[in-house]
Chain A
Amino acid sequence: MAASLRCFLRSGKVGTFLVILKLFPSDCRLVTVRDALNQAMDEELERDERVFLLGEEVAQYDGAYKVSRGLWKKYGDKRIIDTPISEMGFAGIAVGAAMAGLRPICEFMTFNFSMQAIDQVINSAAKTYYMSAGLQPVPIVFRGPNGASAGVAAQHSQCFAAWYAHCPGLKVVSPWNSEDARGLLKAAIRDDNPVVFLENELLYGVPFEMSDESQSKDFTIPIGKAKVERQGSHVTLVSHSRFVGHCLDAAAVLAKEGVDCEVINLRTIRPMDVECIEGSVMKTNHLVTVEGGWPQFGVGAEICARIMEGPAFNFLDAPVTRVTGVDIPMPYAKILEENSLPQVKDIIFSVKKTLNV
């Protein structure tokens, strides 16, 4: 039911949303990822005076993707700051403010533009706590949409999970649904370390059910813990962000054919919850990783290496398969773009290949 609901929703028809609202019982609320992020930021801004948001278009425009809608009206110029188009400059300013005792949220319009500022993220934010032997913490959150969008082509579609997760000193999180978004953003803002918060533009408008306990103002999800979204026994699918949804869809299709998939939502890329993956692999004996980024030196590659180095290797009945984006700059044409990213059929194909069915 839930899987087909998501398929329905992803087709993007607004009318269906209203129909579904009537189908759902009233105590289970549907919240879009965008609204979940907005509420999380609102609550954290209210809770701690030192938290502030800066980035392009975050204030008067209500956010390039409307994630910060209403915040400027509520908190004003001091706490919601529109910046000029100067990523390196404002990222550095955000890091400096964090060093001096504030808790900034630095928004990049997409993480592609964070490359302009990557020196500040890595050399000024990530490494400082270590270099100063603990004298200088940098409690900052860098957030923004990551990975492929729709039709924005090569320079606006890169996934930065692997790049940032490579660096000691950073925490890297990649939420999938609204509950992930809310809990992880709150945890990230409260964390005293620099956190890279990778959202996904295509998920912003997707509504997900949110439990009642997730509505609490102190609801946080621990950074570094993955979640098993679907229990299974034949094969483990590990993914993060948007492709968790694809894995669940594939699992639904495979269930009809008698293949029982366990789907793990990583939630955090760094530090990765390897124990969760290992525990699952020791149960299912098969592993397929799914991600939107490029294959070389990526998240899937890291999972493979860690499995090999740990106890779960002896439980594998087949080599690990990685399902990734195609190793090319993202093309523009729709058919090419669709085929450059993992699709449900690719996941199903990989699972069957791994299981040799």
Chain B
Amino acid sequence: MKTMLAIISNALCRITGRSAGEQTVSELLIGLSEFVNLTSPPAAAAVPPQARRLPPKPPPAGGAAQLVSSRTDQTDRPGARVVASRSLSDFTPQATFDIKKCDVHRLEAGPPVRAELTREQGLQYYRTMQTVRRMELKADQLYKQKIIRGFCHLYDGQEACAAGIEAAINPSDHLITAYRAHGYTFTRGVSIREILAELTGRRGGVAKGKGGSMHMYAPHFYGGNGIVGAQVPLGAGIALACQYQGNNQICVTLYGDGAANQGQLFETFNMAALWKLPCIFVCENNKYGMGTSVERASASTDYYKRGDFIPGLRVDGMDVLCVREAAKFAADHCRAGKVSEALLLLLLPLG
């Protein structure tokens, strides 16, 4: 195994031109992905001439240049599997995307309909979401093997919410969520190792194995709460503390479509609006509250309107940029003290 890894890493080093000792195999592969593009011959033939990737100008780091030029003449041969190329996208620092317009409730205008994304941000959001996805799928596997016991509420499919919200707030802001918390535990700064160790009940876990899936904490992250809806008053309390201390921080309080029917939420909305607490209430609607579909549980499924006197936005939760822009809009709203807080609804279509 070790020798195989050594062989692979040496080969990768030769391709990418980096020295062997510096990096791990995975880092080399990631580095390689910047240079290499896997294409199959039929697809290459179907690409129209103007869209075909041209051999790039030599990149600033001289080493890879010879490799690039020496390999491109092999693309048209049948069986050619690897094409080394760099395209225009590698040199574009940012792009602007059109995003879905959010439905609004008690607001004159919603968040902007165009979002700017820099290359670094794009890669960062992608890495975050992909990491959460892999972690959750692994947790799923471990749960089925009974290595994770009790409850294991998975977040795969909803990663864009976590990534988008984290992109919109500061690390000094606060966040609290319900039991579907692994994604947020990661975005709030806990390492994958600590999360998986906690899930498997190990001492190296973020709560030393004493908390489990639903009770993971970090600075400015208050879990992980097992009782449906109980985290919402807690979140408003955290917002009260922010207001009390005058530190211009906000609290993002998440709950699900099932918790949206809990009475304590409405008690909280009342006090949050009354006292103008800097709190963003986010409903992650995945269309099922435990096992019951929203139509069977809620008289009104317009969750973004159910804050009544609290302004609301209906946001496409599958689009990380939409989530980011909406969360940023809500956060600015809270911080400006214009209105107390905003209610976001994130729609998450299943499947």
Q: Which chain A residues numbered 183 to 232 have a C-beta less than 8 Å away from chain B? A: none
- Pairwise interchain contact B242-A100, C-beta atoms closer than 8 A: yes
Taking CB atoms, residues of chain A closer than 8 Å to B271 are: 83-84, 86, 89-90, 93
How many Å from the CB of B341 to the closest CB on chain A? 13
How many Å from the CB of A72 to the closest CB on chain B? 15
Among A89, A94, A133, residue most surrounded by chain B Cβ atoms (within 10 Å): A89
Taking CB atoms, residues of chain B closer than 8 Å to A9 are: none
A99 and B230 contact, Cβ closer than 8 Å, known pairs A84-B274, A132-B211: no
- Pairwise interchain contact B208-A133, C-beta atoms closer than 8 A: yes
Count, chain A residues at interface, CB 8 A: 31
Taking CB atoms, residues of chain B closer than 8 Å to A78 are: 244
Mask of B243-261 contacts with A, CB within 8 angstroms, 1/0: 0110000010000000000
- Pairwise interchain contact B230-A98, C-beta atoms closer than 8 A: no
Mask of A79-116 contacts with B, CB within 8 angstroms, 1/0: 00101101011111111111111100000000000000
Taking CB atoms, residues of chain A closer than 8 Å to B208 are: 133
Q: Which chain B residues numbered 179 to 229 have a C-beta less than 8 Å away from chain A? A: 206-211, 215, 217-218, 222-223, 225-227
A93 and B237 contact, Cβ closer than 8 Å, known pairs A83-B271, A84-B271: yes
- Pairwise interchain contact A92-B264, C-beta atoms closer than 8 A: yes
Task: Confirm or deny: A123 has a beta carbon within 8 angstroms of a beta carbon on chain B.
Answer: yes
- Pairwise interchain contact A93-B268, C-beta atoms closer than 8 A: yes
Q: Which chain B residues numbered 80 to 112 have a C-beta less than 8 Å away from chain A? A: none
- Pairwise interchain contact A92-B268, C-beta atoms closer than 8 A: yes
- Pairwise interchain contact B230-A124, C-beta atoms closer than 8 A: yes
Among B176, B215, B225, B239, residue most surrounded by chain A Cβ atoms (within 10 Å): B215
Taking CB atoms, residues of chain B closer than 8 Å to A124 are: 225, 227, 230, 234
How many Å from the CB of B198 to the closest CB on chain A? 9
- Pairwise interchain contact A88-B241, C-beta atoms closer than 8 A: no
Interface extent on B, as a size class?
Answer: 35 or more
A102 to B238, CA, bound (A): 9
Partner of A92, one of B211, B218, B232, B244: B232
- Pairwise interchain contact B217-A135, C-beta atoms closer than 8 A: yes
A78 to B176, CA, bound (A): 24
Task: Confirm or deny: B128 has a beta carbon within 8 angstroms of a beta carbon on chain A.
Answer: no
A315 to B264, CA, bound (A): 51
Taking CB atoms, residues of chain A closer than 8 Å to B209 are: 133
Q: Which residue of B lies closest to A86 (CB)?
A: B267
A97 and B210 contact, Cβ closer than 8 Å, known pairs A86-B271, A89-B270: no
A86 and B270 contact, Cβ closer than 8 Å, known pairs A92-B234, A100-B242: yes
How many Å from the CB of B310 to the closest CB on chain A? 14
Taking CB atoms, residues of chain B closer than 8 Å to A136 are: 217, 222-223
Q: Which residue of B lies closest to A102 (CB)?
A: B241
Among B174, B227, B237, residue most surrounded by chain A Cβ atoms (within 10 Å): B237
How many Å from the CB of B229 to the closest CB on chain A? 9
Partner of B236, one of A96, A119, A131, A132: A96
Task: Confirm or deny: A52 has a beta carbon within 8 angstroms of a beta carbon on chain B.
Answer: yes
A309 to B348, CA, bound (A): 56
- Pairwise interchain contact B238-A135, C-beta atoms closer than 8 A: no
Q: Which residue of A lies closest to B274 (CB)?
A: A84
Task: Confirm or deny: B342 has a beta carbon within 8 angstroms of a beta carbon on chain A.
Answer: no
- Pairwise interchain contact B223-A123, C-beta atoms closer than 8 A: no
- Pairwise interchain contact A123-B230, C-beta atoms closer than 8 A: yes
**The 5 nearest A-B residue pairs measured at CB:** A96-B237, A92-B233, A89-B267, A100-B241, A96-B234
Task: Jot down 24 A-B pairs with beta carbons below 8 A, ordered by A.
Answer: A52-B244, A84-B267, A89-B271, A93-B233, A95-B234, A96-B176, A96-B240, A96-B241, A97-B240, A99-B222, A99-B234, A100-B240, A102-B245, A119-B230, A123-B227, A123-B230, A124-B225, A124-B227, A130-B210, A132-B217, A132-B223, A133-B210, A135-B207, A136-B222
List residues of A whose CB falls within 8 A of some B CB: 52, 78, 81, 83-84, 86, 88-102, 119-120, 123-124, 130-133, 135-136
